[in-house]
Amino acid sequence: MSRTLPVNKNDYIDVVFKDLTHDGAGVAKVDGYPLFVAGGLPGEQAKVKVIKVNKSYGIGRLIEIQEKSPYRVDIPSNERTKYGGCQLEHISYEGQLKYKENQVRQVLTRIGKLEDVIVHPIIGMDNPWNYRNKAQVPVGVKDGRLIAGFFKPRSHEIVDTDESLIQLPEVNQAVQVVKEICNELEIPAYNEESHKGILRHIMARYGKQTGELMVVLITRTTDLPHRKELVDKVIERLPKVKSIVHNVNSKRTNVILGEKTTVLWGNEVIYDFIGDVKFAISALSFYQVNPVQTKVLYEKALEYANLTGDESVIDAYCGIGTISLFLAQKAKKVFGVEVVPEAIEDARRNAELNGMTNVEFAVGEAEVVIPRWYKEGNAADVLVVDPPRKGCDETLLKTITDMKPKKVVYVSCNPATLARDLRILEDGGYKTLEVQPVDMFPHTTHVECVAQLILKPD
């Protein structure tokens, strides 16, 4: 016998929100039936309209807030500043930190069954605005003019944006200046429906510690009209620019960057520091977008590794060597592995840039390379993982429990997969001592964590 749902599509109902989902929507329950409503906050009473019903949950639209949360804040009503992935901008920063810390605690208990792990108070930012050192902004046309901004939620409609409240001012300025120049030179914007036009995206990257700026123009065609004039105007109006790059993406795709990259002017890379470690950043490099909190995160990983100078360390998912080089400051030897060949090239260049000779990098999947190293007798005293959102591969987790390094430091961008993997490592002989949440992306739902594990004595 099928269950009769307590709500129907287009119903208007009064609810009380009890929680937030992982993507920041309010959760209310009607006779035990979950209703997810964007914009609702725990503790609030509200009128909502049911817009979708499934067997196990429904979706609602916020109509009226009858009793506000103390953490609710008014957000800018200017459409030109509000888009850009800030799912939590209607929550005070204090409330955001509380929500993220609670999320970490809940998943460790619910998914990881880790009741006695110390979860430290989340480390937030003194100033949670204007922190991103990179923007990649889609380009379109409106009323005959080239526009650049962000997509409206759940659409490909571009909102022309003067600034993003979470980008560094230098990044905002670079995007606006390039947009103005392209309008002056009448460079045609790309149209994704017709697959015609030229300019697809404007990218800007900025070294916060060095003050160096990179501008990247991403086009559909190898031809870039008015190339010399464009470059001359960018140099004139953006004095901090050190690199102007042209990237070609001729495919019908949502992927931003293409395979062909040419330096139009200046250097191939800009430089930045995290702590005392210097990094070369190309147009294609993966580099953390919040350098202030990256330093906090990596210093915590280094603290949890507790290196004396005699240890051999493996860094799985090493990227361009950011964590590897941090660890190499204190370790005897660091081995990094990463599946992207270009990232390993960057990692080797960054090691050379810092004069670090105790680091070795390999291209390949961590779950393939590390088991091979283990069979060859290259066991680690400390193993550090910083996987993508899907977490660690099962083969890698099995290798860790077989290899039995004394310590494991797990850097995570997804608390749910962190909790799942910690449970597997606990069942394989490890003890999770503590977890430190770090707010790398204020005003978004993302939260990073560092976990410290030690091998249980036999």
- Tell me the CATH number at 323: 3.40.50.150
Instruction: State residue 76's pLDDT score.
Output: 61
Query: CB neighbours of 88 closer than 8 A, spacing ≥ 6?
Result: 24, 96, 99, 443, 444, 445
- The sign of the torsion formed by the CA atoms of 353, 357, 362, 365 equals negative
Q: Is 99:181 a contact under the CB 8 Å cutoff?
A: no
Given pLDDT bands bounded at 50, 70 and 90, which one contains residue 155? Answer: confident
Q: What is the pLDDT of residue 163?
A: 86
Which band of pLDDT confidence, cut at 50, 70 and 90, is reported for residue 81? very low
Q: Which two tokens stand for residue 82?
A: 């509000």
Residues labelled catalytic: 413
Looking at 156-160, 201-205, 227-231, 408-412, which range is the least confident one? 156-160
Structural domain boundaries enclosing 59: 12-67
Percent of residues, the chain, with pLDDT higher than 90: 86
What stretches of 187-284 adopt beta strand conformation (E)? 199-206, 213-219, 241-248, 260-266, 270-274, 277-281
* Domain shared by 358 and 241, yes or no: no
> 213: which residues sit within 8 A by CB, 6+ positions away?
170, 174, 204, 205, 206, 207, 238, 240, 241, 242, 243, 270
Angle subtended by helix axes 394-403 and 366-375, to nearest 10? 20
**What is the overall mean pLDDT for the chain?**
93
Residue type, 354: N
Interval 190-221: pLDDT, tens:
998 899 999 999 999 999 999 999 999 999 99
Q: What is the pLDDT of residue 223?
A: 94
Q: Which two tokens stand for residue 234?
A: 């960018």
Q: Strands 58-67, 33-37: parallel, antiparallel or unpaired by DSSP?
A: parallel
Residues 148 and 189 in one domain: yes
Residue type, 8: N
Same domain, 344 and 255: no
Average pLDDT over residues 281-298: 94
- Do 165 and 242 have their domain in common? yes
Task: Specify the DSSP element, H or E, that contains 163.
Answer: none
Residues 109 and 208 in one domain: no
Mean pLDDT on 82-108: 88
- CA-CA distance, 242 to 231, in Å (whole number)? 11
pLDDT above 50 for 157: yes
Q: Is pTM beyond 0.75 here?
A: yes
| 110 and 193 fall within a common domain | no
Same structural domain, 24 and 104: no
Per residue in 365-380, pLDDT (tens digit) is 998 999 899 888 888 9
